[in-house]
DNA sequence: AAATATACATTGACACGCGATGTAGTTTGC
DNA sequence: GCAAACTACATCGCGTGTCAATGTATATTT
């Protein structure tokens, strides 16, 4: 909530990959983790989340498989690939570049 | 090199307003200043820049007027409005929130 | 029995960035 | 003297990502 989509846009993939670096996971859990980490300040819209994982899978950054839940709703688990790991490292670099650039450009002394 | 559009998207307005807080300016100068500040690492695509200033003017954040150049190409100058100043401060806050959020979400220890 | 939570999925609208293209005057190089 | 390069602004159309709306299905809570 409250965070404009355009400010996160371009980082959704990195956020998802960062989560999957730790362990395999499924959509809802990824979102719950983000909520927890941000103290409820942010979570993906479902459409955004599922669009993103599909994009990442198509791009070869993750693979997916159905969990064997004996109870509860079925879950589609995602696992990061080696390409996904490389992409993640690259996205971190991109973020650091962009962050420095923006910090450099949007602050002015006199306001 | 060229920063992916999605990483800057959502900050173009802040970058332009930050420049105009200092003094009235025109498109080409705004871009030259950005190039200078980033040591050539970044500049707006012209279409992006002119789309943005039009958007900002329509939104009441800036006003514009033709310069009275006696020589050289004509220039359209932009001046920030009070609403523009408020918007700028608000965008700075948004950036700081988003920056903290992303920093919090994309880094993992084990990689 | 109804409401709430878990969990995944698709569709269509919308906004922004940007490549391509165009206009027009100025300065520089050969 | 003239082509190339630079200054400066402008528009159109496409691609991509976000997200509201909507739908499916199961489990738990009230």
**Average pLDDT of the residues of chain B:** 92
CA end-to-end distance (rounded Å), chain A: 28
Give the pLDDT score at B3: 72
Which helix H or strand E contains A69, and what residues bound it? none
B43-52 exposure pattern, b = at least 16 Cβ within 10 A, e = fewer = bbeeeebeeb
As a residue count, chain A comes to: 111
Quote the CA–CA distance of A56 and A15 in Å, as a whole number. Answer: 12
pLDDT in tens, B39-57: 999 999 999 999 999 999 9
Flag whether the pTM goes above 0.85: yes
Residues 6+ apart with CB under 8 A from B15: A102, A105, A106, B8, B34
| pLDDT(B1) > 60 | no
Q: In this complex, which of A3, A15, A98 lies closest to B3 when CB atoms are compared?
A: A98
Nucleotide nearest to A7 (CA to C1'): D18
pLDDT value of residue A110: 63
| Tens digit of each residue's pLDDT (9 = 90 or more) over A53-80 | 999 999 999 999 999 887 778 899 999 9
The interaxial angle of helices B27-37 and B12-22, nearest 10 deg, is: 100
Q: What is the per-residue pLDDT across A82-93, written as a single tens digit (0 to 9) for each?
A: 999 999 999 999
Chain A nearest-CA distance from B110, in A, is: 7
Whether the predicted pLDDT of A95 surpasses 70: yes
Does B10 sit within 8 Å of A110, measured CB to CB? no
pLDDT at B73: 81
Do the Cβ atoms of B42 and B33 come closer than 8 Å?
no
A85 near B CB under 8 A:
yes
**pLDDT (0 to 100) of residue A1:** 44
B48 has a chain A CB within 8 A of its CB: no
Interval B19-43 mean pLDDT: 95
Contact list, A8 vs chain B (CB under 8 Å)? 98, 101-102
Give the tokens for residue B36.
């200078």
Region label for A60, one of left (φ > 0), alpha (ψ between -120 and 50) or beta (otherwise): left
**Contact between B102 and A10 using a beta-carbon 8 Å cutoff:** no
Cβ contact B75 with chain D strand, < 7 A: yes
- pLDDT value for A71: 79
- Chain A residues inside the 8 Å CB shell of B3: 94, 97-98, 101
Edge-to-edge strand ranges of the sheet holding A62-66: A25-26, A76-80, A62-66
Q: What is the mean pLDDT of chain A?
A: 92
- C-alpha distances (whole Å) from B8 to each of A49, A91, A94 are 21, 14, 11
Residue B69 has a pLDDT of: 78
| A22-52 pLDDT, tens digit each | 999 999 999 999 999 999 999 999 999 999 9
A34 at interface of B, judged by CB pairs closer than 8 A = yes
Residues 24-83 of A with CB within 7 A of strand D: 44-48, 51-52, 55, 71-73
């Amino acid at each position: 909530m409250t965070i404009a989509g355009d400010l996160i846009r371009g980082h959704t993939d990195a956020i998802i990959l960062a989560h999957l670096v730790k362990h395999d996971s499924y959509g809802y859990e990824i979102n719950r983790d983000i909520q927890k980490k941000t103290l409820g300040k942010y979570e993906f819209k479902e459409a955004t989340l599922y669009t993103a994982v599909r994009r990442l899978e198509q791009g070869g950054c993750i693979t997916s498989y159905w969990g064997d839940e004996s109870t509860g709703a079925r879950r589609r688990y995602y696992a990061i690939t080696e390409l996904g790991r490389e992409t993640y490292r690259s996205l971190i670099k991109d973020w650091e570049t962009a962050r420095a650039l923006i910090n450099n450009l949007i602050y002015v002394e006199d306001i």
